[in-house]
């Protein structure tokens, strides 16, 4: 079974591309979704309580994701602490998830910061979704109802497309001019040999 990464910067359209692969019957592990689920676990909340300001929690001791994002995207030290806590646990969950899929020709591991975290080294191939920055900014502002400045803070913590593209095995252009389904289909055919 091939382990294939699916990555792209914020607002690139990874979710749309993932849905197309799903329509071909491909199983996808969503690392970012797993990370969000981990933030709901008591063990993680307790670890974060000892390392982060108390304002990331509401009065029921739940993490306020918007507050956490504000902190980690404005202070790289906090971002590194969070990543060191969450990323190893995401990889453990991925390993468990894969055990039930050994007969598949390939599976996808979807993650925004695949290259930045170094997890691309654990995979056989990587697909990158690329979009122009201005388009990504507009998409994220509309999707998350946040300001341009907040989007730019998040973008600054991701490598630019130009750095990632040479590391990717496949690139999907999602710029609202190129059709994405034929691009996904071509990659799918290459992966199933």
Starting at the edge strand that comes first in sequence, how are the strands of the sheet with 28-30 ordered?
Answer: 28-30, 106-110, 2-8, 125-130, 170-173
pTM value is 0.89
Please list, residue by residue across 140-165, b when 16 or more beta carbons sit within 10 angstroms of its beta carbon and e when fewer do.
Answer: beeeeebeeebbebbbebbeebeebe
Burial class of residue 37, CB neighbours in 10 A (0-12, 13-18, 19+): middle
pLDDT in the model for residue 156: 86
pLDDT at 193: 85
8 Å CB contact between 16 and 119: no
Q: What is the CATH architecture assignment of 2-192?
A: 3-Layer(aba) Sandwich (3.40)
Over the stretch 161-172, which tens digit does the pLDDT of each residue have? 999 999 999 999
Tokens for 155, please give them: 């973008």
Domain boundaries of the chain, sorted by first residue: 2-192
Secondary structure of the chain in the HEC alphabet?
CEEEEEEECCCCCHHHHHHHHHHCCCCEEEHHHHHHHHCCCHHHHHHHHCCCCHHHECCCCCECHHHHHHHHCCCHHHHHHHHHHHHHHHHHHHHHHHHHHCCCCEEEEECCCHHHHCHHHHCCEEEEEECCHHHHHHHHHHHHCCCHHHHHHHHHCCCCHHHHHHHCCEEEECCCCCCHHHHHHHHHHHHHC
What does the pLDDT look like over 55-104, one tens digit per residue?
999 999 999 988 998 899 888 899 999 999 999 999 999 999 999 898 99
- What is the overall mean pLDDT for the chain? 94
The whole-number average pLDDT for the span 43-52 is 94
pLDDT tens per residue across span 114-159? 998 888 999 999 999 999 999 999 999 999 999 999 899 889 888 9
Report the alpha-carbon distance of residue 4 to residue 111 in Å, rounded.
11
pLDDT value for 147: 92
Please tell me the total number of residues recorded for the chain in this structure: 193
């Amino acid at each position: 079974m091939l382990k294939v990464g699916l990555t792209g910067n914020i607002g690139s359209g990874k979710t749309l591309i993932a849905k197309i692969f799903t329509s071909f019957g491909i199983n996808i592990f969503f690392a970012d979704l797993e990370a969000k689920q981990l933030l709901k676990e008591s063990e993680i909340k307790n670890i974060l309580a000892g390392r982060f300001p108390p304002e990331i929690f509401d009065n029921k001791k739940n993490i306020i994701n918007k507050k956490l994002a504000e902190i980690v995207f404005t202070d790289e030290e906090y971002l590194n602490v969070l990543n060191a806590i969450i990323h190893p646990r995401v990889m453990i969950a991925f390993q468990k998830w894969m055990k039930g899929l050994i007969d598949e020709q390939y599976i996808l591991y979807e993650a925004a910061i695949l290259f930045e975290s170094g997890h691309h080294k654990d995979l056989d191939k990587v697909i990158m979704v690329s979009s122009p920055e201005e388009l990504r900014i507009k998409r994220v502002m509309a999707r998350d109802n946040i300001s341009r400045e907040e989007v730019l803070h998040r973008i600054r913590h991701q490598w630019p497309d130009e750095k990632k593209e040479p590391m990717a095995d496949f690139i999907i252009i999602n710029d609202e001019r190129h059709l994405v389904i034929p691009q996904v289909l071509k990659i799918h055919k290459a992966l199933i040999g």
